[in-house]
Amino acid sequence: MPDPVVVVGVDGSGRSLRALLWAAQEATLRGSSLRIVHTLPRYEFDIPLFPPGRLEEATARGHEIMAEALSMVQLAHPDLHISTDLPMRSPAAAMIDESEDAQVIALGAKGEDIGNLLLGSTVLQVVGHAHCPVVVVCHVTAGHHRISVGTDGSPDSTAALAHAFEEAELRGAQVVVISALGLPQGWPTHLLRPLPPDDDEVARRRQEVEEQVAPFREEHPTVDVRLDVHRLAPLHTLADASHRSDLLVVGSRGRGGFHGLAVGSVTHKMLHLTGCPIAVVRSRAQR
């Protein structure tokens, strides 16, 4: 069985350096090694992307990026075991392959330009196809001692719960389990009316969430848990929670209260709006 490892992709940008430092801290918390990957892209059919002479230049720049990354991590985490790789292939393919043996993949993204970055990009491809949780780091937060996780009872949200409890135990943090049903069908959102009172549907969902969370409470008895079940919109609820959390965890696909929770829907939109690192988790059946 491979040694536990956290993998991070770097490209020398500020966003990837934020992801690098987040990944180094994650590896330290897990007692894992850190693997730093920088790719030299190629065209299809293994035709090099670069014209004559440029490949050597790009390779030299890649080594500079790696040296900078190593120096930064070693300064902050001198005892962390680090490995590096400079493969010549597409970034998405490299990271998806790395995810087969990784505990977590970390990627950076610009907060202000995340829409342009994600549409059809490396991050979106990796989030949708990785074999382990993928953490997209736009903004690094700390000190909230809270992991927020969205659930709707789907297999992917159960996988998200497992990851959230694992992260909370590592960090000594509280888990806030969020399940938002949205407003009743036909509710006049254009009017300034108060939210409807909790009803039988909310009570049923709370009971379902309690049952879904129960095995994780038992597995992680030291983790403090709070349930947040209500009728606010899922996207609004998750975005709001992200500004009071050290990590937001979502499943890649869902149903019910998080209808359409998938890359390109709620999860995709959350990548635009999150105020903290966001972990996207796929169930084993989806991997």
Collapsed DSSP state (helix, strand, coil) of residue 226:
strand
Give me the pLDDT at residue 115, please: 40
> What's the CA gap between 158 and 151, in Å, rounded?
7
Q: Using one digit for the tens of pLDDT, what is the confidence trace for 194-228?
A: 555 557 788 888 999 999 999 999 999 999 999 99
In this structure, the answer to whether residues 210 and 242 fall within a common structural domain is yes
- Window from 140-144, 170-174, 186-190 with minimum mean pLDDT: 186-190
Give me the pLDDT at residue 259, please: 44
> What's the CA gap between 113 and 63, in Å, rounded?
27
Q: How far is CA 250 from CA 71, 156, 199, in A?
A: 32, 8, 25
HSE-up (13 A, CA, CB side) for residue 229: 21
> What's the CA gap between 120 and 159, in Å, rounded?
25
Instruction: Report the predicted TM-score, pTM, of the whole model to 2 decimal places.
Output: 0.87
In this structure, the answer to whether residues 115 and 191 fall within a common structural domain is no
Number of domains making up the chain: 2
Give me the pLDDT at residue 119, please: 36
In this structure, the answer to whether residues 127 and 198 fall within a common structural domain is no
Number of residues that make up the chain: 287
Give me the pLDDT at residue 59, please: 86
- Window from 57-61, 177-181, 256-260 with minimum mean pLDDT: 256-260
Both tokens assigned to 81: 């075991």
Residue 116 binned pLDDT confidence (cut-offs 50, 70, 90): very low
Nearest C-alpha neighbor of 2 from the set 100, 127, 130? 100
- Express as a percent the part of the chain with pLDDT over 90: 53
User: pLDDT: is 276 or 52 the higher one?
Assistant: 276
For the beta carbon of residue 270, count every other beta carbon within 10 angstroms: 21
In this structure, the answer to whether residues 165 and 104 fall within a common structural domain is no
* CATH of residue 25: 3.40.50.620
Exposure b/e, 208-221, CB count within 10 A at least 16 = b: bbeebbeebeeebe
Query: Dihedral of the CA atoms 54, 59, 62, 66 (nearest 10)?
Result: -160
The residue segments making up the domain with residue 26 are 5-137
* CATH of residue 250: 3.40.50.12370
User: Helices 234-242 & 266-273, crossing angle to 10 degrees?
Assistant: 30
User: pLDDT: is 55 or 203 the higher one?
Assistant: 203
What is the chain's mean pLDDT, rounded? 84
Q: Of 119, 137, 155, which one is at a domain's C-terminal end?
A: 137
Give me the pLDDT at residue 189, please: 54
In this structure, the answer to whether residues 133 and 150 fall within a common structural domain is no
